[in-house]
Amino acid sequence: MAATEPLVASPVLAGDPTRIERVDQLARRVAAHLDLPEPRLERTSMNAVYRAGPCAIRICRPTTDPVVALNVSRALTDLGLAVPAPYDLRSFVEPDIDPELWATTWEHIDHDPSAQPDWAMVGRMARELHGVDPSRLSAIHPLPVAGGFSWWDVAATLDDLAASLAPARLSVLRSAHERLQWVLPHLRESLDDAVVVHGDLHPGNVVVERRSGRTVVLDWDLLALSRPEWDHAPLLRWEDRWGGRPGTYSEFAHGYGGDLTDDVLARGIAELRLLVATVMRVRASITDPTAANEAEKRVGYWAGSDARPWIAA
């Protein structure tokens, strides 16, 4: 049976920017415990990721002990997939800091931001993952049905935000959702041949290791069950909506062995992902003024008034 939630069910800050102070405290305590250098924050999204010498400290708000992520990395490595290796096989929680925050430690990938990933290889990795018997991973890692997570419930989120949004902006987003609300029910009705998907396969989660030149896929916390279209969808709109490098998806599709550019379901998932990203940025802008300009730009896309590429948060 599929799990109901992914390993990480909400962003680490989850609408509370003050939590970053507690995240910092936990990162420093883990670093001290493992005799590592002072940690330095690299990014926050679903996880907060710190660099501490040879180690990456990843802090999240998990639904279960995130040691399962360490275990699944070994299973993925056994499958021949290029993923980060654990630094320490334990997970860390400090209830006196924040009982919802947990940390795991990983080899730090010294990535070369100027190098282009081998997207054909990423496509081959996705194909390999999609061919894995789900039971091989479900025993050690949650495998919920993709699209069942809270942030995909656009209607509920818009209801929550209604009092904080101008009526015109709310109307634009609700109209977009009405156009796309067919996607998730249709997806759930066609899961007889569900495969294991990465869940968030986009260029922000693919890096090139500087020393070896190998392409490494990061952030496997959203492993889930879905149709193969789920892992194609983020890359289908990467060039036109996020200003990504031309040819990224075609290279991925060549490695995968199938191009879904004209697949109706894949395009629908891709568009719904864009709407979810918009709603999340709008929600963030309510408590974080620095998110306001990007939120406005994204709403403008749905209104047909702003065609500028978005900036990934």
CA distances from 94 to 11, 14, 237, 243 (A): 19, 19, 40, 40
Sequence-distant (≥ 6) Cβ neighbours of residue 96 within 8 angstroms: none
Looking at the DSSP bridge assignments, the partners of residue 215 are 208
Q: What is the pLDDT of residue 269?
A: 98
Tell me the β-bridge partners of 217: 206
Distance CA 18, CA 226 (A): 35
Distance of alpha carbon 134 from alpha carbon 132, whole angstroms = 6
Task: Provide the Cα torsion 13, 108, 276, 260; round to 10°.
Answer: -170
- Between residues 150 and 112, the one the model is more confident about: 112
pLDDT reported for residue 3: 64
Q: Which fold has domain 119-303?
A: Aminoglycoside 3'-phosphotransferase; Chain: A, domain 2 (3.90.1200)
Domains 19-107 and 119-303 share a fold: no
Model confidence pLDDT, tens digit, residues 84-143: 999 999 999 999 999 999 999 999 999 999 999 999 999 999 999 999 999 999 888 889
Within 10 angstroms of residue 257's Cβ, the number of other Cβ atoms is 10
Residue type, position 139, single letter: A
Q: What is the pLDDT of residue 33?
A: 97
Segments making up each domain of the chain, as ranges: 19-107, 119-303
pLDDT of residue 1: 43
Nearest to 36 by CA among 64, 56, 12: 56
The residue among 231, 280, 224 whose CA lies nearest residue 5 is: 224
Q: 99 near 161, Cβ under 8 Å?
A: no
Residue 282: the pLDDT is: 95
What confidence tens digit (pLDDT) does each residue in 163-185 have?
Answer: 999 999 999 999 999 999 999 99
**Tens-digit pLDDT profile for residues 210-257:** 999 999 999 898 899 999 999 999 999 999 999 999 999 999 999 999
- At 180, phi and psi to the nearest 5? -110, 0
Q: Which tokens in the block code for residue 69?
A: 């992520």
Question: Topology of 19-107 in CATH?
Answer: Phosphorylase Kinase; domain 1 (3.30.200)
CA atoms within 13 A on the CB side of 190: 12
> Do residues 87 and 107 lie in contact, with contact meaning Cβ atoms separated by under 8 Å?
yes
- The neighbour count for residue 172, using CB atoms within 10 Å, is 20
Nearest to 74 by CA among 85, 89, 90: 85
Q: What percent of the chain has pLDDT over 70?
A: 99
Please list, in sequence order, all residues whose beta carbon lies within 8 angstroms of the beta carbon of residue 191, skipping any fewer than 6 positions away: 145, 225, 226, 227
Report the half-sphere exposure of 6 (CA within 13 A, side-chain side): 28
15 — alpha (psi -120 to 50), left (phi > 0) or beta? Answer: left
Tell me, what's the pLDDT at 142? 86
Angle of helix 167-180 versus helix 264-287 axis, rounded to 10: 160
Cβ atoms 99, 53 nearer than 8 A: no
